[in-house]
Chains A and B, each alone.
Chain A
Amino acid sequence: MAVTTLWDVAYFLSSGLLGVLAHILPPLAWLLTNPNLVWLLSALLFGAILLGASMINTIMLIWFERKMLGRFMDRRGAMHVGYAGLLQNFADGLKLFRKNTFKPREADDLGFYGGPTAYMVTSLLMFGVLPISSGWSDGALPLSMLLALVIFSFAPLFIFISAWSSNNKYSLMGGMRSAAQMIAYEVPILLAVVAVVLVAGTFDLNQIVLEQQNYWFWGPLFLALLVFSIGMLAEMERIPFDLPEAEAELVEGWNTEYGGMLFAFFMLADYLRALAGSILIVLLFLGGWTLPTYVPAVATSLPLAGIIWFMVKTYLVFGVFVWIRAALPRVRTDQLLRIGWMRLIPLSLVAVVLAAALVLVKCLPVFGCVPSMGG
């Protein structure tokens, strides 16, 4: 069965739309049936679908977190707008959109407005390379995981720029904390990814998922999963690692001076990154859109089953992060950096060594022999 990719969908929509237009406006048919135009429109549609999907998912993620946090705290979370508060975040977004955007007089224009914009754009960019199902972006990018991590690591730069240009001491401290934290945790994350790459033998996220069809990586690479999850928690700046915006001492950290839509940009980008982090964990360790073989085939043969199972896994992973947020206090800056440099990096090195040993042995009694190990 040929897999319908997202690009196919976009191309079908674009050519169909232009075909109808050409039928209505015969004089312009020569232009509307131009293959370049069809290609251009399908590229735009492709992007729009990705944008819509990631945005809606992000907003649902916020709703999910609010409801779940509410339950952890003995309350019900958002209840009033829409069914069970489903539309509450749209209402909140609308409120922020209507607010006046203002800038401190001494703030630097380019950094103040450019920082959040770039932060938002790079966060969105990541969803172009993260495959959500088998047909999402099929074999297009042989180094897609590397690209995703590169885009992911842009954030501290833009956060620091916007913090510095706000010309506020709290923002500056938050920005410096943020930069220190993200750079410190970048290293263990990359090393944990090296462990995955060693076992999977590829940088392509699609291939990594396909490698996990027989067994998911979380078992043999548990240490790498642990390091990666903790590192992701720090990269997302969530409790217990949310020092850059520790509201108790830094008011709101690096986004103290931001209000209205710019603040909404930061919030959205934060949750976009949280979504991307959860997706990365599912892709690298939890088998992506695949299901264990003992699950009845009907579960995987449904239309869009891949996407559905993928999202279920993603939301479960994010649910664990929400749980952590509800249960733990915040660590201190020096403790955070000590955890990063002195605990996580050695652990991730051990994980790499373990993964290398796994590849050498080529076989793990508990998890069964691995067909494609060692290339």
Chain B
Amino acid sequence: MSDMWINMGPQHPMTHGLWNLRVHIDGEMILGVDPEMGYLHRGIEKISEDRHYNEVITLMDRTCYVAGMAWEHLYIQAAEKALGLEPPERAEWIRMMSEEFQRLASHIMWYAAFVQDLGLMSPFLYGMRDRDLILDLFQSYTGGRLTYEYMRVGGVRNDLPVGFNDRARKVLDWLEPRLVEYDRLCMGSDIFRRRCDDLGILKAADCVKHGVTGPMLRSAGSKRDIRKDRPYSRYAQVDFDVATAESADVTGRYLVRMEEMRQSIRILRQTLDWLDHHPGPVLADRLPRWLGAPYAPIGREAYLLKRNYPKGIGLSAIEEPHGEACAYVVNEGGEHPYRVKFRSPVFANLSAASQYLVGYHVADIPPIMGSVDVCVGEVDR
């Protein structure tokens, strides 16, 4: 068989979303790849310019559909900086808790999809089963399981329900031994190690060159984690380690994510302890009326607002489950953001595909792309 191009996508089991990986193959060997994104572009950044600050949150849940909370957090931080608002202390901790729960849910989802790509069927359902418990928690305090619309400019929508902390602890107690089980199913399997070791190698220097961040970068030995390097929210007040690995391959990325889940549980326990003892308001009380109000101001009120409200620029970066995400919100006065721009970590990780795919087999594409943890929603936005 001479060399040929095959399209893996836009609808292909490997893609986990809607994108196209054009692969140039010779027999089973990969000669070159050409990732094509844009099939899921919804113009979220442009739509945001026509929405109130709080209405953009709805779009954030849909930006990355497995890490909605993280993207809400990202946007809210930038929006608050742009508007010059400060959330109450308790709201910050609740946000941090939400983000860590989201990281757990996202990593479990990644685990489930990744092992499914390798042909391991049972852990897929174990992962979905355990992720459901976290979604139940989300449902108990936000009402949503996937699209929460929970955070608000100046805090969060509502406080945690009665008994939430104990339920959350129970979930963590259940999850911790499950992580050991996950590990045993994968690292204990010889076939798994043979499939994943020395596969899809991307060294730290190449990661930096191509803007690859997150678990992929940390699996190459780098200790870069925004939660540690430039602590946002209340990450400076909790105790956790940055998960790293040295091998820079698929196994390394697997190990990093597994360790991150354990660290997330550690952070969550501390956060829940804090929340136990610090009741308080969760939404800033001196919000401009139009930020709290469900309707748009009209007429003279809107005019005054536009003239009087302080202008500003908000920039925030968080360690999203997939990597480093960044939001940029420009407030030119008025009820809508003037410009909203996001940096998607997966977009950069995916764009470097030719760096870590060429030279391997066609059968290696699913595990390698699985280890990247693609979320097309945030790639195309």
Contact = CB atoms under 8 A, between A and B. Distances in A.
- Answer whether A and B are interacting partners: yes
Interface of A: 69, 72-75, 169-170, 172-173, 176, 239-240, 242-243, 246-251, 325-335
A239 B119 contact: yes
B127 to A, nearest CB: 11
The secondary-structure label for the interface of chain B is helix
Contacts of B191: 240, 328-331
Given A73-B121, A176-B1, A248-B119, A332 B363 contact: yes
Interface residues of B, number: 32
A176 B362 CA distance: 13
A239 B116 CA distance: 12
Given A239-B121, A330-B118, 5 more contacts: A73-B124, A176-B1, A246-B119, A329-B118, A332-B364
Interface string B218-240: 00000000000000000000000
Given A169-B6, A329-B192, A249 B120 contact: no
A311 B53 CA distance: 67
Contacts of A333: 28, 361, 363
Nearest to A69: B121
A250 B129 CA distance: 27
Contacts of B129: 74
B4 interface: yes
B337 interface: no
B117 A248 contact: yes
11 contacts: A72-B122, A74-B129, A239-B119, A240-B119, A240-B191, A246-B119, A248-B116, A248-B117, A327-B122, A330-B191, A333-B361
B282 interface: no
Contacts of B125: 73-75
The 8 closest A-B pairs by CB, nearest first: A330-B119, A248-B366, A329-B118, A73-B125, A248-B117, A329-B120, A332-B363, A329-B119
B363 A329 contact: no
A73 B121 CA distance: 8
A169 B5 CA distance: 9
A162 to B, nearest CB: 18
B8 interface: yes
A31 to B, nearest CB: 57
A167 to B, nearest CB: 13
Contacts of A325: 121
A243 B224 CA distance: 38
B370 to A, nearest CB: 8
